[in-house]
Amino acid sequence: MRRLLVLVIAVVLGAAPTNAADTLPARYTDAEFWRIVTEFSEPGGQFPYENFVSNEVSYQDILPDVTRIAKPGGAYLGVAPEQNFTYIAAIKPKVAFILDIRRQNMLELLMYKALFEMSADRVEFASRLFSRPKPAGLTAASSAEQIFKAFEPVAGNADLYKQTLQAIRDRLVKQHQFKLIGDDDQKIEYVFSVFYRGGPRMDYAYASSSPNNQVPSYYNLMVTTDGRGKNWAYLETEDRYQYVRDMQLKNLIIPLVADFGGPKTIKAIGQYLKDHGALVSVFYISNVEDYLNTTWAAYRANLAALPSDDSTLLIRFIPVTNTVLGWIKDVPPQWPGQYWH
């Protein structure tokens, strides 16, 4: 299914606070980070796909416009896995909230958090993420394509996998003292094992059902461009990787379990931002709206609860055909705002 990438100026969102200074903290303590994760999150829900990795190969197409329009600072909101890191590196928010109805996505992002913190550079990060020993010859100036090509012939290493998995557990539970519950630990192990087994060529369909088989691999997502020759991927340059890593070290990328039409999480984020005089700079929605046919009014109310101004952007990925938005009764015939296709 081909997808159309759409940018919308979010006049549908709530009004901006007036004369309020932005008081978002420069970092969160481990206790404050975990308080937000647990208090803002909703109960986990169901989704037909596991979303270990993005399936949106055109995700960079709007970044030239996004970086021109969106104000730096403020809050970034996003959904699903690693494409958020590329958007965060480009937009440079003060804080990022990544939402998904599946608790497993929150746990995958905690896995990522530990890997970022443990990995001093991109090569070490890729080595740990896919449990592949570091190939020789790579430097801080290597591109994402050079890095991934160097890893191509390297097989997964069981000892490195076991060592890294234990290091992830130790960092999350012993160092940060995050209180994992239920089968959280087993889910983190499961997600990490998928990356070990799948390697850099894993894609959206790997170890998961998929709506089609024309999906990009992790490799493809890291080496693609915005259609104008520029690669914005978070692993393309050391500076971008270090920006995201620094936010992870400061506990500023906060994964949450959230239903976009739910009663709690998005409103809690909105109130928190208002209390701190902060705005939403970008909200990356993907095509979550296709799955909200029974909670559309609640979803629109959640959007309206978020503080914004005329530079706030919603990023949507909309299938060119077969989108359910066409038959949801209270979807407006045309979205507010200005579009870039």
pLDDT along the chain (341 residues), means of 10: 49 51 93 98 86 90 92 93 97 97 97 98 98 97 98 98 98 98 97 96 78 80 95 98 98 97 96 97 89 82 92 78 46 42 33
What is d(CA 200, CA 131) in angstroms, rounded to the nearest whole number? Answer: 10
Pairing assessment for the beta strands 3-9 and 253-257 based on DSSP bridges: unpaired
- Residue 138, domain member (yes or no): no
Question: Looking at the DSSP assignment, which residues form a beta bridge with residue 280?
Answer: 75
**CB of 59 closer than 8 Å to CB of 233:** no
- Residue 218, domain member (yes or no): yes
- 23: how many CB neighbours lie within 10 A of its CB? 9
Predicted pLDDT of residue 107: 98
Residue 103 lies in domain: 3-110+209-340
Predicted pLDDT of residue 291: 82
Tokens representing 88 are 């965060």
For the four alpha carbons of 233, 171, 99 and 247, in that order, the dihedral sign comes to negative
Number of domains into which the chain is organized? 1
How many Å separate Cα 170 from the centre of its chain?
Answer: 23
Pairing assessment for the beta strands 3-9 and 95-100 based on DSSP bridges: unpaired
- Residue 155, domain member (yes or no): no
What is d(CA 331, CA 329) in angstroms, rounded to the nearest whole number? Answer: 6
What is d(CA 304, CA 300) in angstroms, rounded to the nearest whole number? Answer: 6
* Burial status of residue 12 (CB atoms within 10 A of its CB: 0-12, 13-18, 19 or more): middle
Predicted pLDDT of residue 72: 85
Predicted pLDDT of residue 103: 96
Predicted pLDDT of residue 265: 98
**CB of 70 closer than 8 Å to CB of 312:** yes
Tokens representing 282 are 């970008």
**CB of 193 closer than 8 Å to CB of 209:** no
Please tell me the total number of residues recorded for the chain in this structure: 341
- Residue 267, domain member (yes or no): yes
What is d(CA 110, CA 116) in angstroms, rounded to the nearest whole number? Answer: 10
Pairing assessment for the beta strands 253-257 and 95-100 based on DSSP bridges: parallel
pTM recorded for the entire structure: 0.91
**CB of 301 closer than 8 Å to CB of 307:** no
What contacts 17, CB < 8 A, 6 or more positions away? 274, 277, 279, 307
- Residue 133, domain member (yes or no): no
Concatenating the DSSP letter of every residue in 73-119 gives SSEEEEESSTHHHHHHHHH--SEEEEEES-HHHHHHHHHHHHHHHH-
